[in-house]
Amino acid sequence: MAAEANNAKPTFLSPPQEGKKPIVSLRGITKRFPGVIALDHIDLDIYPGTVHALLGENGAGKSTLVKVLYGIYTPDEGEIIINGRPTRLTSPADAINMGIVMVSQSPQIIDTLTVAENIILGLEKYNHFVPVTKVYKTIREESKRVGIKIDPGIEVWRLSYTQKQLVEILRAILLGAKVLLLDEAITYLPIEEKQRFYKFIRRFADEGGTVVLITHKIYEAMDVADKITVLRRGKVAGHLDRKEATIEKIRALMFGERSAEITYERLPTAQPEPKTILEVKDLWVMGDFGGYAVQGVSLEVKKGEVLGIAGVAGNGQKELIQAIMRLRPVMKGRIIYNGEDITRKTTYYLRVNGVGYIPDLPAKYGVSIENSIIENIAVLPVYSRGIINWDKIRELTLKLIKEFEIKTPSPDTPVKFLSGGNIMKVLVARELTVATNLLVAYNPTRALDEATAIKVRKIIKEKVLKNKVSAIIASEDLDEIFQISDRIAVMNSGKIVGVFPADKAKREEIEHLMVM
């Protein structure tokens, strides 16, 4: 029956692989949400033994598509055909039974449960009343095989982001996944883990597994994928085979005209003024689990310059940024902002004095997802002291929605209904507006598509050049660091291990210092 469906409309699908039948086919899949058509009659064939990249700008429908495949959303129209059979997936448990497992950008595993408890929840072969310790052995064995060190009895809140993602992937393997759906799951892993995982994905596919890979890193997709499907505004913009895929073709499909704006050239170097806006002196800050995450860091940001902080995730950047924002206690050392010692001052003080802040994990710490876009903007102390002028805020919100091309049915839509990248855009747009003196950011273009990421960098640089705003930007993305920074500081194991003028810095040297 599926074969018939296949023969019926093969025209615009990429040619099937030699003799193989698709493991998953979508026919006319449509999913509407109030005010948007997230998926508009999607046709797609996914073949076993392939890595199939799913690309598209923010809000294109990528996450919605994999959530349909994982049984989280039920499509309004269309048919899902698995192994040649039309199948209804009404819950993730259904999908897991069919060998389909999703890993998303934000770990789904639950903090208060142990690793083993999280994993056993999806394992059908264990009945409900078995003790969880029954899976310990399997977990230990399998994790050794994949090359992950993990204690099955540890509670998840003790794990770092990277470790959580590793557990998610381990879980997928233990569930016997035949189709792995990776929704930006590896995008934010440190370089080394990332490479390990790309290797793992390749091997998994070569052994007959199937991977659907969502990423905004187009080069990575081109490297690892056998097939590429580009979504645009809920429709398939095109299917490409590895051989025919070029970066230009992909970008054109993804962004249309906007693709012409994409460039990784260094943005113009700023001419900073002599005045120091931010100074950090011999700073010591604790990490989450005891021990110093920041160990004697000193640095300076001049008026009208961008200081980029390069480093592999987990080397103290997060704690440094939080300490500067007064969100983490300083054990020793001083922070001086605008000539004033702020070591004992509050975040509020910074927020009403021209500091914008883009935190790590934006959906958790940057916006309140239950509230609307307007409310998320009005909440900043610069707007909400005394009586809120809602007319003004609405005007500002509408302006930001337009400027940042935030895809939303209305400014009153709760943020949780936006796509991952569009949530980030709300945060970035708001913070760039309030950063009239200093921007403090950690991965400011996280989750943004290429075109938007570059646009955000351009806006930041323009503010630095024109309005003499200063910025300290920590990022795990070296392309970003090189494109936007005027000076680059490299952070490793809680220390600054080198500072370079960006126009003279050598990439190899910086990469070396990062992993040294």
Ligand X SMILES: Nc1ncnc2c1ncn2[C@@H]1O[C@H](COP(=O)(O)OP(=O)(O)OP(=O)(O)O)[C@@H](O)[C@H]1O
For Mg ion, the binding residues (CB under 5 A) are 63, 420
Measure the CA–CA gap between 114 and 121, rounded to whole angstroms.
11
Rounded to the nearest 10 degrees, what angle do helices 507-515 and 191-206 cross at?
90
DSSP 52: E
| Residue 326 contact among Mg ion, another protein, ligand X, none, beta carbon within 5 to 8 Å by kind | none
Decide: is 369 part of the binding site for another protein (CB under 8 A). Answer: yes
How many residues bind another protein (CB under 8 A)? The answer is: 39
Is the CB of 319 or the CB of 375 nearer to ligand X?
375
Least Cα distance to 82 among 67, 104, 97 occurs for 97
Q: Which stretch binds another protein (CB under 8 A): 46-54, 347-355, 361-369, 492-500?
A: 361-369
- Stretch of 126-134, 306-314, 335-343, 483-491 lying at the interface with another protein (CB under 8 A): 126-134
* Ordered DSSP codes for 134-173: GGHHHHHHHHHHHT----TTSBGGGS-HHHHHHHHHHHHH
Does position 106 interact with another protein (CB under 8 A)? The reply is yes
CB of 181 to ligand X, least distance (A): 12
CA distances from 82 to 7, 171, 175, 179 (A): 16, 22, 18, 11
Q: Interface residues for ligand X in 276-335 (CB under 6 A)? A: none
289 binds another protein per the rule CB under 8 A: no
Q: Which stretch binds ligand X (CB under 6 A): 155-163, 297-305, 356-364, 418-426?
A: 418-426
Residue 154 or residue 352: which is nearer to another protein going by CB?
Answer: 154
Six-digit token string for 423? 């949530």
Q: How many CB atoms lie within 10 A of CB 237?
A: 20
Taking CB under 8 A as the binding criterion, the range among 144-152, 228-236, 247-255, 417-425 that sits at the site for another protein is 417-425
The residue among 63 and 317 lying less far from ligand X, judged by its C-beta, is 63
Whole-angstrom distance, CA of residue 433 vs CA of residue 135:
51
Q: Please give the DSSP secondary-structure letter assigned to residue 156.
A: G
Q: In the beta sheet, which residues pair with residue 279?
A: 300, 336
Please choose which of ligand X, another protein, Mg ion, none residue 38 contacts, taking the beta carbon within 5 to 8 angstroms, the exact cut-off set by kind: ligand X
Q: Pick between residue 163 and residue 422 the one whose CB is nearest to Mg ion.
A: 422
Tally Cβ neighbours within 10 Å of residue 40. 18
Pick 280 or 415: Cβ nearer another protein? 415
State which residue, 35 or 153, has the beta carbon closest to ligand X.
35
The type of residue at 20 is K
Directed axis angle between helix 191-206 and helix 161-174, to 10°?
10
* H or E, element range at 457: helix 450-467
Cβ-based nearer residue to another protein, 120 or 490: 120
Q: Which of residues 53-92 bind ligand X (CB under 6 A)?
A: 56, 58-64
Those residues with Cβ within 8 angstroms of residue 368's Cβ, 6 or more apart along the chain or in another chain = 375, 376, 379, 415
Is residue 38 part of the contact set for ligand X (CB under 6 A)? yes
Q: Is 136 exposed, middle or buried (0-12, 13-18, 19+ CB in 10 A)?
A: middle
Q: How far is the CB of 126 from another protein (least distance, A)?
A: 6
Chain residues binding another protein by CB under 8 A are 70, 72-74, 91-93, 96, 102, 106, 108-113, 117-118, 120-123, 126-133, 171, 175, 363-364, 369, 416-417, 420, 423
